[in-house]
Amino acid sequence: MSLLNDIPPVTLHFYLTAPYPCSYLEGREARSQVATPSQFITTPVYSELVRHGFRRSGTFTYRPHCDNCQQCVPARVVVKDFQSTRSQRRSCKQHYELKATLHTLQDKPEYFELYCRYQQARHRDGGMDDDDPEQYRSFLLQSQVDTLLVEFREGDILRMVSVIDVLQDGLSAVYTFYDPVVPHSSYGTYNVLWQIELCRKLQLPYLYLGYWIEGSRKMAYKAHFQPLQGLRDDVWQTILSKNCA
């Protein structure tokens, strides 16, 4: 299947980056295939690119294209068949006081403060914990496609923020950050469940979760949301993992 035959008729170009250190698997090098120019990547075009394994960071649209590794598997939840596990239902009950409100992309000081605390606690030395407001804005607050920002508050306290793209066949979870110091919280699980429910309300068949990497602790959790499909050899197929129990 040709990607160029499947996207709407626009002039896109694809190039490969130079190798760079992999963020997920220690000691490995990664490369990306990048789609340009960004101004042509509208919601319909991006929806098709996502179906072919692409993802975005700000206005930068890419997919892994590593020379000696295919561990990054694009993943999506099949919404109509999803059934929550007992532990996932506990997460919903645990965070029942969270109230979600939907917004267009906007910049508030409390977002950046929460983002910095999350990065320092969860991703220290991961390249995103340098408290750079411009990097934060270019990563999360710039988009050429239909994008929502979701606030999750407990009373007046901001607990979590999600950035979500609205595609033609689903939602794409761009990024979520949350209060890292609330004891016994399971905000990440709750957030994925909330996005699945939003897909159902919008009658969208898939929730795209980015890349699943079975050998990466940061990414393997996605297999807990079953049925999960992965894109392998340009075919979406069911992912079954020992980590999904």
Domain 75-244, architecture per CATH: 3-Layer(aba) Sandwich (3.40)
Q: Strand 99-103 to strand 157-166: parallel, antiparallel, or no bridges (unpaired)? A: unpaired
Q: pTM score, two decimals? A: 0.92
**Which pLDDT belongs to residue 23?**
87
**Residue partners of 242: CB distance under 8 A and separation at least 6:** none
- Look up residue 99 and give its two tokens: 């109230």
Determine the Cα–Cα distance for residues 29 and 43; give it in Å rounded to an integer.
Answer: 31
Q: CATH 3.40.630.30 residue ranges in the chain? A: 75-244
Q: What is the pLDDT of residue 245?
A: 40
| Residue pLDDT tens, the chain, 245 long | 455 556 555 689 999 999 999 988 999 999 999 999 999 999 999 999 999 999 999 999 999 999 989 999 999 999 999 999 999 999 999 999 999 999 999 999 999 999 999 999 987 655 554 578 999 999 999 999 999 999 999 999 999 999 999 999 999 999 999 999 999 999 999 999 999 999 999 999 999 999 999 888 888 889 999 999 999 999 999 997 554 44
pLDDT single digits (tens) 142-171: 999 999 999 999 999 999 999 999 999 999
Residue 11 DSSP one-character state: -
- The 10s digit of each residue's pLDDT in 10-37 is 689 999 999 999 988 999 999 999 999 9
Distances (CA, A) of 39 to 142, 143, 145: 12, 10, 10
DSSP 222: G
Closest CA relative to residue 77, chosen from 177, 173, 183: 173
Residue 74, preceding bond cis, omega within 30 degrees?
A: no
pLDDT value of residue 96: 94
